[in-house]
């Protein structure tokens, strides 16, 4: 399945903005009450602001021109109370939307992270971690900024603009139509350029993710860069990513600021039209000075929000571009779906490959029509040349991937019918490159093991002793409390493998896969591991991938994996003959 987010961008861009907004609102549907409260405050705020110019015009025509100062004072008091109310409603709206924005940010990041937890290994093979981090951090923050700072301004500007437009038309339709004429050109201009602005912002967000990915990749491999003295390569790669991000940021900045000057120019034209036409109407007795003052205020109230919308619309396009990148992840579904459990086959082997084919993509098949069985309590070895398919076979056993064709059965059932919890409890996998989390040895060996999560150190040490792992724990100076730092640089690669070994054994799996699990440890510790493996429960099945002969010499059966085929190799000497024969041919 194609999980490459960068390849699906074009499809996502075809979605309408309206659909994107609806999908986003569904995600924050639990905020309906707060959004409704904020909307009410916006309507009150905008309504009072729109009523102000009418009262001012009425006061000028009725009281100022006739020098009735008592009426002026009364209406001044009314206007003061109105503006105080708008101050309170404005603060309330800001507070409400600030909370909505932060909760939405929390919800979005949780939703993305939970979705990432559901996606298979193939997804992470096709996408760079730095880009994913940028989507979780940067793109969600763009949405938060729009919701907490711009959304209510956006809605308030629209409400004010519509209300002002209605007042303009009601007071004098001809003058109102003339005043609103420039707005038609603004709408056309916005409709034409908005998709272009969104694309520019999408490209910029993508380049930001690419730069984040480049930084992370370079820092993760900084030891190699230092060892080979290739800081120049690091600088060159970063400079390319940074230059690309600079170019896209300039493009996005120009696109985001293109609305403001155009809106400002057309707004000035509208006010000029109102002033000239209004003076003409006054001269022929169809208009009053007070109404002209009100009219100019309403024209300002119509076009000033449009100016604000110029900036807010650009923010909206940035937010929607970020949402497109976020929704790409949220819309993905894992191809490792659980199927309905069928009746278990009686007397079945612990694990069986039945006519299995596999490919990472549609272009090249890695495994071809593989069939074999693994019985309970036996030790199996997978040997073969590098790139022959050993780790791929082990990954299918652990269901890190699904077979393209054929079936993998566990305990006589389709392995796809087991829940992830059931499967990982039955199958332990010690990876060639074990990954540890920041924390302690205890935190890492208990990762994913809910059975011992509440155990004290003393209780856990008893379990470790019962599992014959105490000699491995003794290798660490501070035992269970040995610190594991970010990147696990505080301990050796061999020690990492020992922690991964303890983590897997403590789960008491029915099937234990060791992918080059002793590749980075000394011969004495390897002997220690060998003794521990011998003391595992008799029903535990082991699958060992290794190149050292002493690691596989006690295997009950050896499989030779090469060119996508798995062949029974019989004895160790026969297996070595096959391996040497392959090397001579190649």
Query: How far is the C-alpha of 581 from the C-alpha of 585, rounded, in Å?
Result: 6
pLDDT at 187: 80
Residue 21 lies in a domain: no
**Same domain as 259, residue 162:** yes
What's the rounded mean pLDDT across residues 106-134? 82
Tokens found for residue 221: 């491999």
Residue 10 lies in a domain: no
Name the phi and psi angles at 216, rounded to 5. Answer: -65, -45
Query: How far is the C-alpha of 64 from the C-alpha of 67, rounded, in Å?
Result: 5
* CB 106, CB 140: distance < 8 Å: no
Listed range (5-9, 107-111, 145-149, 252-256) with the worst mean pLDDT: 5-9
pLDDT at 489: 64
**Same domain as 409, residue 260:** no
Pairing of strands 367-374, 351-358: antiparallel
**Residue 420 lies in domain:** 351-585
pLDDT at 12: 45
| CATH code for the domain in which residue 88 is found | 1.20.1560.10
Which of 330, 359, 389 delimits the end of a domain? 330
Higher pLDDT, 463 or 224: 463
pLDDT in tens, 447-497: 878 888 888 999 999 999 888 888 888 888 888 998 887 665 677 777 888
In Å, what is the CA distance from 490 to each residue of 21, 441, 496, 516, 519?
Answer: 47, 12, 10, 22, 19
Listed range (319-323, 420-424, 465-469, 475-479) with the worst mean pLDDT: 319-323
Evaluate if residue 250 carries a pLDDT over 80: yes
Tokens found for residue 492: 């050796």
**Same domain as 384, residue 288:** no
**Would you place residue 582 in the very low, low, confident or very high pLDDT band (cuts 50, 70, 90)?**
low
Residue 121 lies in a domain: yes
pLDDT at 487: 61
**Same domain as 281, residue 378:** no
pLDDT at 358: 92
C-alpha closest to that of 517 among 486, 495, 534 = 495
**Same domain as 367, residue 309:** no
pLDDT at 173: 85
pLDDT at 355: 94
Higher pLDDT, 131 or 4: 131
* CB 100, CB 31: distance < 8 Å: yes
Evaluate if residue 541 carries a pLDDT over 90: yes
Which of 280, 301, 330 delimits the end of a domain? 330
Is residue 417 classed exposed, middle or buried when 0-12, 13-18 and 19+ CB atoms within 10 A define those classes?
Answer: middle
pLDDT at 580: 66
Residue 77 lies in a domain: yes
pTM above 0.85, yes or no: no
Q: What is the dihedral of CA 165, 170, 174, 175, to 10 degrees?
A: -60
> Percent of the chain beyond pLDDT 70?
89
Evaluate if residue 354 carries a pLDDT over 90: yes
Q: What is the DSSP string of 247-286?
A: HHHHHHHHHHTSHHHHHHHHHHHHHHHHHHHHHHHHHTTS
> Percent of the chain beyond pLDDT 90?
9
pLDDT at 2: 65
Evaluate if residue 371 carries a pLDDT over 90: yes
pLDDT at 166: 85
In Å, what is the CA distance from 438 to each residue of 110, 307, 435, 444, 484?
Answer: 21, 50, 10, 8, 5
Q: Which residues touch 415 (CB under 8 Å, ≥6 apart)?
A: 351, 399, 408, 409, 423
Highest mean pLDDT among 2-11, 75-84, 282-291, 517-526 belongs to: 75-84
Q: Which residues touch 578 (CB under 8 Å, ≥6 apart)?
A: 560, 567, 569
| Element housing 484 (H / E) | strand 483-484
At residue 511, the 3 state secondary structure works out as: strand
**Same domain as 313, residue 361:** no
What's the rounded mean pLDDT across residues 201-224? 77
Query: How far is the C-alpha of 161 from the C-alpha of 305, rounded, in Å?
Result: 6
What's the rounded mean pLDDT across residues 137-157? 78
Evaluate if residue 581 carries a pLDDT over 70: no
Q: What angle is formed at CA 242 by the lines to CA 241 and CA 248, rounded to 5 degrees? A: 90
**Same domain as 310, residue 372:** no
DSSP for residue 343: P
In Å, what is the CA distance from 111 to each residue of 84, 159, 335, 522?
Answer: 40, 32, 19, 44
What's the rounded mean pLDDT across residues 542-556? 78
Query: How far is the C-alpha of 53 from the C-alpha of 300, rounded, in Å?
Result: 10
Tokens found for residue 505: 């054994």
Which of 330, 360, 378 delimits the end of a domain? 330
Residue 229 lies in a domain: yes
**Would you place residue 16 in the very low, low, confident or very high pLDDT band (cuts 50, 70, 90)?**
low
Query: How far is the C-alpha of 359 from the C-alpha of 370, rounded, in Å?
Result: 13
Query: How far is the C-alpha of 516 from the C-alpha of 47, rounded, in Å?
Result: 72
Residue 226 lies in a domain: yes
Query: How far is the C-alpha of 431 from the C-alpha of 512, rounded, in Å?
Result: 11
**Same domain as 158, residue 98:** yes
**Same domain as 314, residue 362:** no
* CB 561, CB 384: distance < 8 Å: yes
**Same domain as 292, residue 223:** yes
C-alpha closest to that of 165 among 149, 182, 148, 180 = 180
The tally of domains found in the chain comes to: 2
pLDDT at 13: 46
> How high does pLDDT run on average in the chain?
81
pLDDT at 10: 45
Tokens found for residue 584: 């001579």
pLDDT at 410: 93
**Same domain as 480, residue 428:** yes
Residue 335 lies in a domain: no
Evaluate if residue 549 carries a pLDDT over 70: no
What's the rounded mean pLDDT across residues 551-561? 83
pLDDT at 393: 92
Residue 228 lies in a domain: yes
**Same domain as 285, residue 368:** no
Evaluate if residue 15 carries a pLDDT over 60: no
| CATH code for the domain in which residue 488 is found | 3.40.50.300
């Amino acid at each position: 399945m194609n999980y490459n987010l960068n390849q699906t961008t074009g499809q996502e861009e075809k979605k309408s903005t309206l659909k994107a907004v609806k999908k986003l609102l569904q995600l924050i549907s639990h905020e309906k009450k707060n959004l409704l409260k904020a909307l009410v405050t916006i309507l009150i705020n905008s309504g009072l602001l729109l009523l102000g110019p009418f009262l001012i015009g009425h006061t000028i025509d009725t009281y100022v021109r006739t020098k009735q100062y008592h009426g002026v004072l009364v209406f001044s008091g009314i206007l003061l109370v109105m503006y105080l109310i708008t101050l309170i409603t404005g603060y309330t709206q800001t507070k409400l939307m600030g909370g909505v924005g932060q909760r939405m940010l929390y919800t979005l990041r949780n939703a993305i992270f939970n979705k990432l937890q559901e996606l298979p290994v193939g997804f992470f093979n096709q996408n760079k971690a730095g880009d994913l981090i940028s989507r979780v951090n940067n793109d969600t923050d763009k949405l938060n900024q729009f919701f907490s700072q711009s959304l209510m301004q956006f809605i308030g500007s629209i409400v004010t603009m519509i209300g002002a437009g209605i007042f303009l038309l009601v007071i004098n339709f001809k003058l109102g139509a003339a005043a609103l004429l420039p707005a038609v050109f603004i709408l056309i201009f916005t409709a034409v350029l908005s998709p272009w602005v969104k694309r520019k912002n999408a490209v910029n967000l993508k380049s930001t993710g690419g730069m984040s990915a480049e930084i992370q990749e370079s820092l993760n491999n900084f030891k190699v860069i230092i060892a080979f003295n290739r800081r120049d390569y690091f600088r060159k790669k970063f400079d390319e990513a940074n230059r690309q991000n600079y170019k896209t940021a300039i493009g996005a900045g120009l696109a985001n600021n293109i609305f403001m000057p155009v809106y400002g120019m057309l707004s000035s034209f509208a006010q000029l039209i109102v002033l000239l036409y209004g003076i003409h109407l006054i001269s022929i007795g169809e208009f009053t000075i007070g109404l002209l003052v009100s009219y100019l205020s309403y024209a300002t109230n119509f076009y000033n929000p449009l100016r604000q919308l110029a900036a807010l619309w650009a923010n909206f396009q940035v937010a929607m571009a970020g949402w497109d990148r976020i929704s790409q992840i949220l819309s993905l579904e894992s191809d490792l779906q659980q199927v309905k459990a069928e009746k278990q086959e009686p007397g079945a082997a612990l694990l069986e490959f039945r006519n299995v084919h596999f490919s990472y993509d549609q272009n090249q098949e890695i495994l071809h029509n593989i069939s074999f069985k693994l019985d309970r309590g036996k030790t199996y070895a997978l040997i073969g040349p590098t790139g022959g398919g050993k780790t791929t076979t082990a990954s299918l056993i652990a269901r890190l991937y699904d077979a393209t064709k054929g079936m993998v059965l566990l305990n006589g059932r389709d392995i796809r019918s087991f829940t992830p919890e059931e499967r990982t409890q039955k199958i332990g996998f010690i990876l060639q490159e074990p990954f540890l989390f920041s924390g302690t040895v205890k935190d890492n060996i208990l990762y994913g093991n809910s059975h011992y999560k509440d155990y004290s150190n003393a209780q856990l040490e008893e379990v470790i002793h019962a599992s014959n792992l105490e000699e491995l724990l003794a290798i660490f100076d501070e035992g269970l409390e040995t610190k594991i730092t970010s990147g696990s640089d505080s301990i050796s690669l061999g020690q990492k493998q020992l922690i991964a070994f303890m983590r897997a054994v403590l789960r008491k799996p029915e099937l234990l896969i060791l992918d080059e699990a002793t590749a980075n440890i000394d011969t004495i510790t390897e002997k220690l591991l060998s003794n521990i493996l011998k003391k595992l429960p008799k029903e535990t099945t082991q699958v060992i991938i290794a190149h050292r002969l002493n690691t596989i010499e006690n295997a009950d059966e050896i499989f030779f994996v090469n060119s996508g085929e798995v062949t029974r190799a019989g004895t160790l000497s026969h297996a070595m003959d096959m391996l040497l024969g392959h090397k001579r041919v190649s």
